[in-house]
Amino acid sequence: MKASTPLDHGWTLRLDPRGHRPEQAADALVDEGVPARVPGCAHTDLLAAGLIPDPYLGRNEEEVAWVGRADWTYRTTLTGGSGGGHERADLVFDGLDTVAEVRIGGRVLGRTRNMHRAYRFDATQALAAGGDVPLEVAFTSAYEEAEAVRARLGPRPNAYPEPFNFVRKMASSFGWDWGPTLVTAGIWRQARLERWSLARLAEVRPEVTVAEDGTGRVRVRIAVERTAGGAARTLRASVRVAGVEATARLQPGSDAATICVEVPDVALWWPRGYGEQPLYDCEVTLGTDDTEEVALDSWERRVGFRTVVLDTAEDAEGSAFTLRVNGQPVFARGVNWIPDDTLVSRVDAARYRRRLAQAAKAGVNLVRVWGGGIYESEDFYDACDEAGLLVWQDFLFACAAYPEEEPLRTEVEAEARENVVRLMPHPSLVLWNGNNENLWGFRDWGWAEELNGASWGEGYYLDLLPRVVAEADPTRPYWAGSPWSGSPERHPNNPRHGTTHSWEVWNRLDYAAYREDVPRFMAEFGWQAPPAYATLRRALGEDQLAPDSPDMLHHQKAADGNGKLARGLAPHFGAPVGFDAWHYLTQLNQARAVATGIEHWRAHWPVCAGTVLWQLNDCWPVTSWAAIDGAEREKPLYHELRRLYADRLLSLTVRDGRLALAVVNDAPTPWEGRARVRRLDAKGGEAAAYEPEFTVAARAVGLVELPAALTELGDPAREFLVAEADGLRALHFAVADKEFVSPAGEVRTEVVETAEGADVTVTAHTLVRDLLLQADRLAPTAKADRGLVTLLPGESVTYRVSGWDGTGAVDAALWWVDKARSAAG
């Protein structure tokens, strides 16, 4: 049986004296080094040793930039010998970041140049003599590799000044418009020593399908590697799923087999909100005919039975982009996912589950793994399988022209094949996507002229990657990129076809412009806001809490980001005075902008088949488009997503120039009820009312026409509409907040201690728009169960706050529009 020994202790990290040594590096880093943690990276080890400051605080990112320019060596000691009589000893690294040379006893075993691949080196001879054998993994700076490849192949355009498109490394570690520049190096995933004999499983590819009669089929393609002692042996491979087993024999000279298992009447795996997520153990065992009781190697994963089709049929509106799971069309309530920490080795299984549980709680049913990050660990996809979160997986190309020549092309193909095979057992994975914005960039960003005929990645997206998916994972659809209209004959960001990205609105327009288009699938859109108050206070310090302070601006990576925030506020609120008002209003504006888009697009299902918010999460404390900040705190946008992505949603929408009530029902049962729509005066008087009945089928949208006597406001500066049904509410104000005339907000608060913290009940004496309790202002550990709430006169809301003892005044933590407007110019 194969024996596996983790190599997770006894490591040291030191500067490579033969490589580049920055001036900031201490002598001790060359002589003795520091203890190293594996998995990890140079940054995390130097942090643990107290040799660099936390790069997420203040402007420390600039102070640690030298780390990414240095060459680093990891060292440990292995125990040589036969290791229990095994024929072969392999060093296995699930991830090396990025350009490395692996040496045992001074002998070079191999070299690497790809963060996104695993590596296996035959160390048998190097360990044969026994005793203590030194192991070294020497890393060359990714900058050096990228700059050398660029010099050899010629420049290529990209959206940022760093050379990330010349090395197969996480692109966003070179910085992004939401992330720091922390160019890491290290053994970032598990390392181990594997000893084995006769044969091992080199590759396992389970293709999981469902027949029309409900039979689940698992066709497992296996490849084996043999030792000299196993070359003449007949091998036996078996596959077991749900109590059903099938076996194949591999005769001498054969290193591959296909084994099929059929499981009758399987329970189908569904996206969350559409059904359950049953998972079945799939076990593959390798042995020999003459040693049936002893397994040479084994492989086990959980699989789910479901079908997935990408519907791109042409219709009167253009061509669709609709995911169908088990034949059921799904409206994708999605979020984009970036690496949850720039120092990615710090993200463990518990953190993945926390973040994905937050996504599911917000009503999300699809997570897009964005192409500038990483192929996430098994823990991520396991959590998605269990929660019913569909996964759209980008191949790792983003916002740049990528050379198609060597040494990159071979790496790209090997990386793609390995990760397709690694991830294909997961039922949550429903789409492979070729790239992020590169087809669009070539068309609209001036790349064609700059490239002057040089390769830029088109061959990857339209040839290599679809071939890899078709050969290795034919059960899933592939799409060439996002945005992509499905044809080179059409503009890649054509909203009538395929996937669309909407960034013109954030960059140049008011968010009301979201209502001007009905895309077939909105794959990226978003609006910025700063992180939570407690997150900023820790990252910047009290003296830097100002929109334009040096540290605040350092934690704003978007081009003219604060200018766009200000221009987004101006038409609605004017210019806020003071940090607190600015902080509240920018967070409110983010939630309102996203709500404007999602309410509009959901009301146009099935023409629009999905919205994927940019973005769910952050990788450090930063002003960004995220709903959850880099300290894991939920912004008001997160709580607004819970309303927007609920199964049922009410919205007041304009159709054909008239206001109507959209009744969105993404539940599995019809929605029958009576709505109450009122026109109210800001002082609380009712000017008109209408109570229509409605019936909306499951997974459908209904439009309720409203009479002109209700919707024609007598004085738009004082009157507004409220629609309610089954505990849900929609509001419509015809003018901007700064033009709306209402009494100064008056509230009464009551605090009651509870076992988990305290309940804060707020009662409104007047109209109170977008009331927010910023719980982290009460205590850094405090968390409220809800976000923005609009109260009519006499209404109350209770915020349940955990992590706070209920002591102290709550006034400074409570904000609403009129309170913030009083500080506006």
- One DSSP character per residue, 717-760 reads TTEEEEEEETTEEEEEESS-GGG---PPP-EEEEEEE-SSEEEE
Question: Where do you find CATH 2.60.40.10 in the chain?
Answer: 198-303, 649-739
Between CA 528 and CA 367 the distance in angstroms is 19
Q: How far apart are alpha carbons 432 and 553 in whole angstroms?
A: 36
Q: Which of 415, 437, 599, 634 is an active site residue?
A: 437
Q: Which of 616, 614, 612, 611 is nearest to 635 (CA)?
A: 616
The CATH H-level superfamily of 331-387+498-645 is: Glycosidases (3.20.20.80)
| Segment holding 568, helix H or strand E | helix 561-573
The pLDDT score that the predictor gives to residue 657 is 87
- Residue 539, classified by CB atoms within 10 Å of its CB into exposed (0-12), middle (13-18) or buried (19+), is buried
CATH architecture group of domain 747-821: Sandwich (2.60)
| Ramachandran angles phi, psi of 726, nearest 5° | 50, 45
Task: Tell me which architecture the domain covering 3-194 has in CATH.
Answer: Sandwich (2.60)
The token pair at 196 is: 């084995």
Q: Is 437 marked active-site? A: yes
150-190 pLDDT, tens digit each: 999 999 999 999 999 999 999 999 999 999 999 999 999 99
Q: Which residue in the block uniquely carries the two structure tokens 């979020």?
A: 335
Do β-strands 366-369 and 390-394 pair in parallel, antiparallel, or remain unpaired? parallel
Residue spans in the chain of domains classed CATH 2.60.120.260: 3-194
- The amino acid at residue 415 is E
Residues of the chain below pLDDT 50: 825
β-pairing verdict for 235-241 and 280-288: antiparallel
How many Å separate Cα 3 from the centre of its chain? 35
Structure tokens at 543: 């003296």
Look at domain 198-303 and name its CATH class.
mainly beta
Q: Hey, what amino acid is at 822?
A: S
Judge contact between 391 and 381, C-beta under 8 A: yes
CATH code at 649-739: 2.60.40.10
- In which element (H, E) is residue 681 found? strand 676-681
Q: Is 266 helix (H, G, I), strand (E, B) or coil?
A: coil
Query: Cα separation of 561 and 506, whole Å?
Result: 10
The pairing of beta strand 522-525 with beta strand 500-502: parallel
- Hey, what's the torsion of the CAs at 588, 589, 594, 597, to 10 degrees? 130
Closest to 738 in 3D by CA, of 600, 566, 576: 576
Token couple for 747: 């509230």
Q: Cα(712)–Cα(710) distance, rounded to whole angstroms? A: 6
Q: Token pair of 15, please?
A: 């500067």
Please state the separation of Cα 473 from the chain's center in Å.
Answer: 22
Nearest-angstrom CA–CA distance, 501 and 494: 9
How far apart are the C-alpha atoms of 822 and 825, rounded to whole Å?
Answer: 8
DSSP conformational letter for 502: E
